[in-house]
A and B are shown apart, each in its own frame.
Chain A
Amino acid sequence: MYAFEIERPTTIAAAVAALGFEGAQALGGGQTLIPSMKARLASPAVLVSLTSIPEMRGVCLSDDGMVCVGGATPHALVAVEAAQYFPALAALAGQIGDPAVRNRGTVGGSLANNDPSACYPAAALGTGAVIITDRRRIAADDFFNGMFSTALHEGEIVTEVRFPVAEKAAYVKFHQPASRFALVGVFVAKYADGVRVAVTGASEGGVFHWAEAEVALSGDFSAAALDGLKVNADGMIGDVHATPEYRAHLVKVMAKRAVAGAT
């Protein structure tokens, strides 16, 4: 990889200042960025490491029923510490990559990268999470702008994510066994005002709401409520691992399993 300068701020304010330099790039856990730099797909002039900022790390429950996760919190910590508040979220974090990847990768990094097959975007969209940055709050519904694209501005840092705790929820993921990303993953969450269904791994547009399923499940929260629905294969990802038709089929299968397993 190409050489770069290092910044290791210990406060959010210092990180924002460091990211103001031309060619600066935030480094979370590095589980995507470092391989990208090795492949010379990314070549930042300055890397601003976000993992030495105590105020960006940790898990807690807010008074208004949201699980608050610091942007630089590794998946392994969420898998353990969110379990008492929001088991479906903890289970999702505990299925990302493998144990060594989960000890480094962070929620902020995952959301900012918005890989179309990543797990966390499904949790954010599936819960209607609030993504808090150094300068504003962004609703998950307004955050994801298609594959590897988000509403974040240049140098903007995801400092915290707030996930509203559902009455019932589950994430079911069909693992792509080589990469351990989701071939298809579906997050289903039931709230007092309706059901949310978010799908990752399937669409060329990245994570998306499965609106028909949300309507059907809001009327009847059972796997059978999805029986009459069909997912269109147009715009689905097709690669050596699965055709668009297969992914479309998996969306419904994973969604039904998620509804059946929701707790």
Chain B
Amino acid sequence: MTQARMTVNGVPVQADVEGRTLLVDFLRGTLHLTGTHVGCDTSQCGACVVHVNGKAVKSCTMFAFEAEGALVRTIEGMAGADGALGPIQQAFRDEHGLQCGFCTPGMVMSTAALLTENPKPTQNEVRAYLEGNICRCTGYNNIVRAVLVASGQDVNLLAAE
């Protein structure tokens, strides 16, 4: 056993875990933050994307002990304290950027990372950045629209691009 110590969505946490405990299992199983999803468990699908020290990572392909001392942010940290949707979440809702919703936590976290690096991405930049996040429902167009709306851009102009 080892100690996992980190700050998750602003809250310091620590717990005894096995070395082989994946970060996603620590978040879901130990902390009961089940918003982060496990889709493929092989680092293909991106449903498990969270931020570790501000960087998007696949939490199914990182051990909890590797996040020692890190600032971790999950989908639960994207909403306001009163439960109100954050701007990216609101844009996904407004633009129908989800259907079954399974991929959405990872999509939102990847989008947040993208908009930090590139606040006004083009449609192609959005598609390229989200290549590690797989959605089997939407066909991606509404997700791309949602990201562009979240970035404050006029999607009606971009649709004619």
Spell out A's residues near B (CB within 8 Å). 1-6, 8, 30-31, 34-35, 37-38, 47, 49, 51-52, 76, 97-101, 103-104, 178-180
Q: Among the listed B19, B63, B132, which residue makes an inter-chain contact with A98, where contact means beta carbons less than 8 Å apart?
A: B132
Cross-chain contact B63 with A34 (CB below 8 angstroms): yes
Partner of B132, one of A3, A4, A38, A101: A101
Nearest-CB distance from A93 to chain B (Å)? 15
C-alpha gap A112/B114 in the complex (Å): 30
A74 to chain B, nearest CB (A): 8
> A103 with B20: in contact, given A30-B63, A51-B66 (CB under 8 Å)?
no
Q: Is the CB of B110 within 8 A of A101?
A: no
Residues of A within 8 A of B133 (CB): 98
B5, CB-defined interface residue at 8 Å: no
Query: In the complex, A52→B69 CA distance in Å?
Result: 11
8 contacts between A and B (CB under 8 A): A1-B20, A5-B19, A35-B61, A49-B65, A97-B132, A101-B43, A101-B132, A179-B44
B20 close to A30 (CB less than 8 A): no
Closest 6 CB pairs of A and B: A98-B132, A103-B55, A6-B19, A100-B56, A100-B58, A34-B61
Q: Is the CB of A3 within 8 A of B63?
A: no
Question: A15 → chain B, closest Cβ, in Å?
Answer: 15
C-alpha gap A178/B45 in the complex (Å): 10
Report chain B residues within 8 Å CB of A4: 19-20
- State whether B61 touches A31 (Cβ < 8 A): yes
A251 to B19, CA, bound (A): 42
Are B66 and A49 in contact (CB-based, < 8 A)? yes
Q: How far is the CA of A5 from the CA of B2 in the complex (A)?
A: 9
A5, A101, A178 — most chain B CB neighbours (10 Å): A101
**Cross-chain contact A47 with B19 (CB below 8 angstroms):** yes
Q: Are A35 and B43 in contact (CB under 8 A)?
A: yes
Q: A76-B55, A98-B131 are in contact. Are A104 and B62 (CB under 8 A)?
A: yes
Asked whether, in the complex, the Cβ of A8 is within 8 Å of the Cβ of B46, the reply is no
What's the minimum C-beta distance from B146 to chain A, rounded to whole angstroms?
Answer: 18
Q: B8 within 8 Å of A by Cβ?
A: no
A178: chain B residues at CB < 8 Å are 44
Q: Mark B70-94, 1 if CB is under 8 A from A, else 0.
A: 0000000000000000000000000
Cα of A234 to Cα of B36 in the assembled complex, Å:
46
Known: A3-B19, A99-B129, A180-B131. A30 touches B113 (CB 8 A): no
Assess whether B42 is in contact with A35, with CB atoms less than 8 Å apart: yes
The distance in angstroms between the C-alpha atoms of A198 and B132, with both chains bound, is: 27
What B residues does A99 contact at CB under 8 A?
56, 110, 113-114, 129, 132
Does B95 belong to the interface (CB within 8 Å)? no
B16 at the interface (CB under 8 A from A): no
Residue of A2, A35, A49, A99 most packed against chain B (CB within 10 A): A99
Query: Which of A5, A6, A100 gathers the greatest number of chain B CB atoms within 10 Å?
Result: A100
User: Taking the complex as formed, is B57 at the interface, i.e. its CB lies under 8 A from any CB of chain A?
Assistant: yes
| B18 contacts chain A at the CB level, 8 A cutoff | yes
**What residue of chain B has the Cβ atom nearest to residue A180's Cβ?**
B131
B68 interface residue (CB < 8 Å to A) = yes
Contacting residue for B65 out of A6, A31, A180, CB 8 A: A6
Shortest distance from the beta carbon of B37 to any chain A beta carbon, whole Å: 14
Least Cβ–Cβ distance between A47 and chain B, in angstroms: 7
Do A38 and B46 touch (CB < 8 A)? no
